[in-house]
Chains A and B, each alone.
Chain A
Amino acid sequence: MKLTSKSSDDLSESGFRAQLRQAYLPDLVQLECLSRSRRVIRVTTVDAVGYLFFADGQVTHASIGDLEGEEAAREILSWSRGTFEPCERAWPPRATITKSWQFLLLHAAQAEDERRPGVHSGRPQPGGREASVEQGESIPAPKGAAHGKAPSTVLRLDVRGAIVRNHGATEEYAALVSSAFRQVEMIGDLLGAESFKALECAAGEQRTFISREGGHLVAVQSADPHTIAQVRERLGLSS
């Protein structure tokens, strides 16, 4: 993201102005939603200006001229060139977008896939809360399955975030795994670390593993101790 200094008249409050580059607008949406900011972001592309309204951890409204709501949000999220910056703008009396921000990002990513010739999207359909289950997932392929339950979630993504295999993951979860991986890569870069191998996080009894296997990302969630041990062994994370 290329940050540029703001001029005296283009920003009415402290904030930022950034050039759009590839996936940074989705990153911005995620950041604003996770930080639960209440803010309007003006997105300017070559021939149009759009506005995204963030409140209570969601995108609640979007507009481009007379176009409003989800349709406007989808259009703005499809823009790959331009700038974005915070601005002051009148808020609508009520939210015009009811879909989650994860839904909007996933839909935008699918639309981008469809625009690219020869690219088949493996992303889940936004209409379904849970992505489709595919048979044949070999991760974690627990040995001695009698000792462990199947993980609650097994997800395999390609490097662009498209789902290759899925069992039990929602569309929101797939977007979060992809986002977490990008963040870990940036953290590794800042630390001067070599390649990312795996992430393991704990929340109560539940363990989440995100690992890199070949050209894919694999995410596994389980709360079963035997399964967790098997996943660690399978992913080479025992030590």
Chain B
Amino acid sequence: MSVDRAVAKVETTLSVLRDIAGVYGSFFISPSGNLVSKDLPRVYDEALFADLGPRLVRLQETLASAGQGLDTCLLRFDDIRLFLFPSLHGSLGVLFSASADLKAVKMSVRLAARRIGAELTGLGDIPPPSARRRA
């Protein structure tokens, strides 16, 4: 499957997560932190992810080095929460409010990550959108 088709399918999978009340949106970054796809308000643009993606990867590496690896990570801020689910193909992140059902978010993320993993198998580290457009 081509990268473009796979990325389009990832975007479709991400959009389903917004069916959960309180979920603002989600994104998927590659193992090196490149934005693969996002379903977020436009204010979270590609330029922001050029900074955010590598920082999220670095945070995950830091946390993983402190213990026995890293299965999931939940960041709680006063107003929003970010749930990160690392996998072989990258990390799925979901932004949601405190009112969202955390168990529903976690369950949906696991399912979505499984689907995304299937779409990205064999495609390697997906380059960021700007590089994909140039290719």
Which B residues touch A31, using CB under 8 A?
58
Chain B positions 64 through 105: 1 when the CB is less than 8 Å from some CB of chain A, otherwise 0: 111111111111111110100000000000010010001000
Which B residues touch A188, using CB under 8 A?
75, 77
* Residues of chain B at interface, number, CB under 8 A: 33
Q: How far is the CA of A158 from the CA of B44 in the complex (A)?
A: 32
Chain B positions 30 through 59: 1 when the CB is less than 8 Å from some CB of chain A, otherwise 0: 000000000000011000100110011011
Q: Is A191 an interface residue (CB 8 A)?
A: yes
State whether B80 touches A193 (Cβ < 8 A): yes
Q: How far is the CA of A183 from the CA of B73 in the complex (A)?
A: 13
* Residues of chain A at interface, number, CB under 8 A: 35
Q: Interface of B with A (CB < 8 Å)?
A: 43-44, 48, 51-52, 55-56, 58-59, 61-80, 82, 95, 98, 102
State whether B55 touches A197 (Cβ < 8 A): no
Given A176-B65, A193-B80, A197-B78; A183-B59 close (CB under 8 Å): yes
- Closest approach, in angstroms, between the C-beta of B6 and any C-beta of chain A? 26
Q: Is A190 an interface residue (CB 8 A)?
A: yes
Which A residues touch B75, using CB under 8 A?
184, 187-188, 196, 199
Question: CB < 8 Å: which of A186, A190, A193, A237 contacts B79?
Answer: A193
Given A199-B75, A201-B73; A180-B59 close (CB under 8 Å): yes
State whether B74 touches A199 (Cβ < 8 A): yes
State whether B55 touches A187 (Cβ < 8 A): yes
Given A195-B77, A197-B77; A180-B62 close (CB under 8 Å): yes
Some 22 contacts from A to B, beta carbons below 8 A apart, are A176-B63, A176-B66, A183-B59, A184-B59, A187-B55, A187-B75, A190-B48, A191-B52, A191-B82, A192-B43, A193-B79, A195-B77, A195-B78, A198-B76, A199-B73, A200-B74, A201-B73, A202-B70, A203-B64, A206-B67, A208-B63, A239-B102
